[in-house]
Chain A
Amino acid sequence: MPLPPIVSAKPQLGRRLVALVAVVALLALTLLASLAIGARAIDPAEVFSALTGGSASPEAVATVIGLRLPRTVAGALVGASLGLSGAIVQGLTRNPLADPGLLGVNAGAAFFVAIAVGVFQVTSPATYVWFAFAGALAATGGVFLIGSVGRLGGSPARLVLAGMAFGAVLAGITSIIRLSNRQAFNAMVAWEIGSLSNITWPAIAGTAPAALIGIGAAVAVARPLGALAFGDDLAQALGARLALTRVTGVLAVTLMAGAATALAGPIGFVGLMAPHVARWLVGPNQPWIMALTAALAPTVVLAADIIGRVAAPPGELPAATLTAFVGAPVLIGLARRRQARGL
Chain B
Amino acid sequence: MNRLRRRRAALQLALGLAGLGLAVIALGLGDYPLTPAQVLAALTGQETGFAHTVVVDWRAPRVAVALVFGAALAVSGALFQSLTRNPLGSPDVIGLSTGSYTGALVAVAWLGSGRLATGGGALIGGLVTAGLVYALARRDGAQGFRLIVVGIGVTAMLHAFNLFLLMRLREEVAMTAAIWGAGSIGLIGWDQAGPAIVALALIAPLVVACAPGLRQLELGDDAAGGHGLKVEPTRLAILALGAGLTAIVTASAGPIAFISLAAPQIAQRLTRSAATPLLASALLGGLGLLAADLVAQFALPVAAPTGAVTVVLGGAYLVDLMIREARRLR
Q: Which residues of A contact B (CB under 8 A)?
A: 97, 102, 146-147, 149-153, 155, 157-158, 160-162, 164-169, 171-173, 175-176, 179-180, 193, 268-269, 311-312, 315, 317-318, 321-322, 324-325, 327-329, 331-332, 335-336, 338, 342-343
Q: Chain B nearest CB: distance from A137 CB in Å?
A: 18
Does B154 lie at the interface of the complex (its beta carbon under 8 Å from any beta carbon of A)? Answer: yes
Q: Mark B162-195, 1 if CB is under 8 A from A, else 0.
A: 0110011000000000000010000000000000
Query: How far apart are the CA atoms of A235 and B144 in the complex, in Å?
Result: 32
| Chain B: interface residue total (CB-CB under 8 A) | 47
Does B309 lie at the interface of the complex (its beta carbon under 8 Å from any beta carbon of A)? Answer: yes
- Let me know if A176 and B304 touch, CB within 8 A: yes
Does B209 lie at the interface of the complex (its beta carbon under 8 Å from any beta carbon of A)? Answer: no
Does B136 lie at the interface of the complex (its beta carbon under 8 Å from any beta carbon of A)? Answer: yes
- Let me know if B301 and A325 touch, CB within 8 A: no
- Let me know if B156 and A269 touch, CB within 8 A: yes
Q: Chain A nearest CB: distance from B246 CB in Å?
A: 17
Q: Chain A nearest CB: distance from B189 CB in Å?
A: 23
- Let me know if B160 and A171 touch, CB within 8 A: no
Which A residue's beta carbon lies closest to that of B296? A176
- Known contacts: A325-B160, A331-B149, A331-B152. The answer to whether A180 contacts B309 by CB under 8 A is no
A residues near B257, Cβ cutoff 8 Å: 168
Complex partner residue of B322 from A146, A318, A343, CB under 8 angstroms: A146
- Let me know if A175 and B153 touch, CB within 8 A: no
- Let me know if B311 and A168 touch, CB within 8 A: yes
A146-B322, A172-B312, A332-B150 are known contacts; what are 10 more A-B pairs with Cβ within 8 Å? A149-B327, A153-B326, A160-B152, A165-B315, A165-B318, A169-B312, A169-B315, A331-B152, A335-B153, A336-B139
Query: How far apart are the CA atoms of A340 and B283 in the complex, in Å?
Result: 39
Q: Mark B303-329, 1 if CB is under 8 A from A, else 0.
A: 011001101101110110011011111
- Known contacts: A151-B330, A176-B302. The answer to whether A171 contacts B311 by CB under 8 A is yes
Query: How far apart are the CA atoms of A266 and B329 in the complex, in Å?
Result: 34
Does B159 lie at the interface of the complex (its beta carbon under 8 Å from any beta carbon of A)? Answer: yes
B residues near A150, Cβ cutoff 8 Å: 325-330
- Known contacts: A161-B88, A176-B302, A335-B153. The answer to whether A169 contacts B319 by CB under 8 A is yes
Q: Which 6 A-B pairs have the closest CB atoms?
A: A150-B326, A157-B145, A169-B315, A172-B311, A168-B315, A172-B312
B residues near A193, Cβ cutoff 8 Å: 163
Give me 23 A-to-B residue pairs in the complex whose CB atoms sit less than 8 angstroms apart, sorted by A's number: A97-B149, A102-B152, A146-B319, A149-B323, A152-B326, A153-B326, A157-B144, A158-B145, A165-B319, A168-B257, A168-B314, A169-B319, A175-B304, A176-B304, A176-B312, A311-B164, A312-B167, A325-B164, A332-B149, A335-B150, A336-B136, A338-B139, A343-B144
- Let me know if A329 and B160 touch, CB within 8 A: no
- Known contacts: A169-B315, A179-B304. The answer to whether A325 contacts B329 by CB under 8 A is no
Does B300 lie at the interface of the complex (its beta carbon under 8 Å from any beta carbon of A)? Answer: yes
Which A residue's beta carbon lies closest to that of B258? A168
B residues near A172, Cβ cutoff 8 Å: 308-309, 311-312, 315
Q: Which residues of B contact A (CB under 8 A)?
A: 88, 136-137, 139, 144-146, 148-150, 152-154, 156-157, 159-161, 163-164, 167-168, 182, 257-258, 300-302, 304-305, 308-309, 311-312, 314-316, 318-319, 322-323, 325-330
B residues near A322, Cβ cutoff 8 Å: 160
Which B residue's beta carbon lies closest to that of A330? B153
Per DSSP, chain A at the interface is: helix
A residues near B149, Cβ cutoff 8 Å: 97, 157, 160-161, 331-332, 335, 343
Q: Chain B nearest CB: distance from A307 CB in Å?
A: 11
Query: How far apart are the CA atoms of A332 and B155 in the complex, in Å?
Result: 11
A residues near B325, Cβ cutoff 8 Å: 150, 152
A residues near B316, Cβ cutoff 8 Å: 169
> Chain B CB within 10 Å — which of A166, A167, A179, A338 has the most?
A179
- Let me know if A321 and B164 touch, CB within 8 A: yes
A residues near B145, Cβ cutoff 8 Å: 155, 157-158, 161, 342-343
B residues near A155, Cβ cutoff 8 Å: 145
> Chain A CB within 10 Å — which of B149, B314, B319, B323 has the most?
B149
Query: How far apart are the CA atoms of A169 and B163 in the complex, in Å?
Result: 21
> Chain B CB within 10 Å — which of A151, A161, A180, A318 has the most?
A161
- Let me know if B311 and A152 touch, CB within 8 A: no
- Let me know if B308 and A176 touch, CB within 8 A: yes
Complex partner residue of B159 from A165, A324, A335, A338, CB under 8 angstroms: A324
B residues near A153, Cβ cutoff 8 Å: 326
- Known contacts: A157-B146, A336-B136. The answer to whether A166 contacts B315 by CB under 8 A is yes
Which A residue's beta carbon lies closest to that of B146? A343
Complex partner residue of A161 from B148, B312, B330, CB under 8 angstroms: B148
Which A residue's beta carbon lies closest to that of B143? A343
Query: How far apart are the CA atoms of A161 and B318 in the complex, in Å?
Result: 9
Complex partner residue of B312 from A97, A173, A321, CB under 8 angstroms: A173
A residues near B308, Cβ cutoff 8 Å: 172, 175-176, 179
Complex partner residue of B160 from A102, A166, A321, CB under 8 angstroms: A321
B residues near A158, Cβ cutoff 8 Å: 145, 322
Complex partner residue of B153 from A165, A317, A328, CB under 8 angstroms: A328
B residues near A338, Cβ cutoff 8 Å: 139
B residues near A318, Cβ cutoff 8 Å: 163
Query: How far apart are the CA atoms of A140 and B263 in the complex, in Å?
Result: 29
Which A residue's beta carbon lies closest to that of B300? A176
B residues near A166, Cβ cutoff 8 Å: 315, 319
Query: How far apart are the CA atoms of A172 and B315 in the complex, in Å?
Result: 9
